[in-house]
Structure 1
């Protein structure tokens, strides 16, 4: 079998951000090939009850409604990307997981699915913010054992009239 005929497994982590959608679109427009199998991966942190009251005083019905709303949001996101795969005639699947550490989960998915490459968006956080908050794309870039393509946040064009 020729190398170009081999299936490449592409992992595309997504969330509800424009950065994730831009990364998917950039990959689809510039990199996708018919021998690619695209795995859309969504990892989000679990719903945790937070109120001014103690954890134990939290209303179970309110919490259940929050969990249900979260499920609906995730279902809608997965349907959106299933539609994008179908609209572009791309072979692929969607995956969803609840996990406190999205970076670790994405790296695990890449290993489990025997990924060839990870393509993901970057939120464009500054160095100080990334140092304190961490960055999922930074984590994946440094821990995945396959190539990671990070699509940067699109820069807004200056509207100044200085001519520069």
Structure 2
């Protein structure tokens, strides 16, 4: 039996990640832990006005994720976590629940935000003690001509 951690946010990437896990990875007996970590980083609201609304939007958007957890074949939980650095909170929570795999999306931040904030998925990948699968939404692929 595997313990799988799926960190979520209010993005389409999280929805894709959850669907990818359910359609391609999930096995009967797996325990699915989903979590949300508020990603408030000081005055980032100046760069991205969505910060103020993200909690309200999360409540409505995560309803679809939580519905997945009530499917008969899923043994899962949803937890809201708090912390200054989302990647660190995710890595520590993975240790706490004895996760055997972390499956997460990549939001594809622009260069400026990634430089200032760092990439949560890259940091989780670097610091995790268990395998990390990063699901990239197909619409974020870069086509080379």
Decide which structure has the larger Cα Rg and report it: 1
Q: CA deviation at 1:35?
A: 1.7
1:109 partnered with 2:103:
no
Q: SS at the partner of 1:87?
A: coil
Instruction: Measure the CA separation in 1 of the matches of 2:135 and 2:95.
Output: 21
Residue 10 of structure 1: which of 4, 10, 18 is its match?
A: 4
Aligned structure 1 segments of 4 or more residues deviating by more than 6 angstroms:
none
Quick check: 2:10–2:54 contact (8 Å CA) kept in 1?
no
Residue 19 of structure 2: which of 11, 25, 45 is its match?
A: 25
2:122 matched residue in structure 1: 138
Equivalenced residues, count: 137
Instruction: Measure the CA separation in 1 of the matches of 2:71 and 2:125.
Output: 29
With the length of structure 1 as denominator, give the TM-score of the two structures: 0.70
Instruction: Measure the CA separation in 2 of the matches of 1:19 and 1:107.
Output: 19
Unaligned runs of 5+ in 1: 1-6, 50-65, 159-163
2:75 matched residue in structure 1: 91
Q: CA deviation at 1:77?
A: 4.6
Q: CA deviation at 1:99?
A: 1.9
Quick check: 2:18–2:65 contact (8 Å CA) kept in 1?
no
CA deviations on 1:121-160 (whole Å, 9 max, x unpaired) are 01123566533330100010000100000011313689xx
1:81 partnered with 2:75:
no
With the length of structure 2 as denominator, give the TM-score of the two structures: 0.78
